[in-house]
């Protein structure tokens, strides 16, 4: 009991030392997205973007799981898709092939557009340079 408490505190403390997470969050806010570190309305997900309010939810559990940054990169990719679609979410048609490791996360979507949108988000999220890629996608598509 005590040990698990100490481990949980360690991860929580660590999560506050994620400069890239903070910078990406601020970048999204600069482009008029709201980022909430709260359980999303759809509770089973790690992250969620609500198109009509430009609100991104990041489930606090991702900090404990050590996947806070990739989760935010994923939702930020959807944010870039929303900027590109000017109010509706649209594929960016990236010149990147999804790595095999990312395929199980999106191949189950039957809807072709949804699968394409998720393929892009998982491709950026799993890319070695995903953080810089998503920053440049936001600058490219959200800057007027
Ligand atoms: Zn997604």
- Domain presence at residue 128: yes
Q: Provide the domain count of the chain.
A: 1
- Domain presence at residue 2: no
- Domain presence at residue 25: yes
* Distance in Å, CA 7 to ligand 1 centroid: 29
* Distance in Å, CA 5 to ligand 1 centroid: 31
Q: Cα separation of 88 and 62, whole Å?
A: 27
> Which stretch of DSSP H or E encloses residue 10?
helix 2-15
Q: Cα separation of 17 and 40, whole Å?
A: 23
- Domain presence at residue 124: yes
* Distance in Å, CA 125 to ligand 1 centroid: 10
Nearest Cα to 135, choosing from 76, 82, 83? 76
pLDDT over 70, % of the chain: 88
Q: What is the mean pLDDT of the chain?
A: 88
Q: How confident is the model at residue 9 (pLDDT cuts 50, 70, 90)?
A: very low
Q: Are 91 and 81 in contact (CB under 8 A)?
A: yes
How do residues 61-118 score in pLDDT, each as one tens digit?
A: 999 999 999 999 999 999 999 999 988 999 999 988 888 888 888 998 889 999 999 9
Q: Rounded to the nearest 10 degrees, what angle do helices 19-30 and 130-142 cross at? A: 10
- To which residue do tokens 């949804």 refer? 114
How do residues 32-73 score in pLDDT, each as one tens digit?
A: 999 999 999 977 789 999 999 999 999 999 999 999 999 999
- Domain presence at residue 69: yes
- Domain presence at residue 72: yes
* Distance in Å, CA 79 to ligand 1 centroid: 10
- Domain presence at residue 48: no
Nearest Cα to 24, choosing from 100, 108, 138? 138
Task: Give the domain range for residue 113.
Answer: 19-31+65-142
């Amino acid at each position: 009991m005590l040990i698990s408490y100490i481990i949980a505190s360690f991860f929580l403390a660590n999560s506050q030392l994620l400069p890239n997470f903070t910078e990406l969050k601020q970048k999204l806010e600069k482009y008029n997205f709201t980022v909430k570190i709260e359980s999303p309305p759809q509770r089973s997900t790690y992250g969620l973007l609500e198109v009509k309010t430009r609100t991104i939810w990041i489930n606090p559990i991702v900090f404990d799981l050590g996947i806070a940054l990739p989760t935010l990169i994923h939702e930020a990719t959807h944010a870039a898709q929303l900027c590109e679609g000017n109010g509706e979410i649209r594929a960016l048609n990236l010149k990147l092939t999804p790595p095999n490791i990312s395929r199980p996360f999106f191949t189950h979507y039957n809807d072709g557009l949804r699968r394409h949108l998720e393929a892009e988000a998982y491709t950026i999220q799993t890319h070695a340079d995903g953080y810089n890629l998503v920053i440049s996608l936001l600058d490219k598509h959200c800057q007027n």
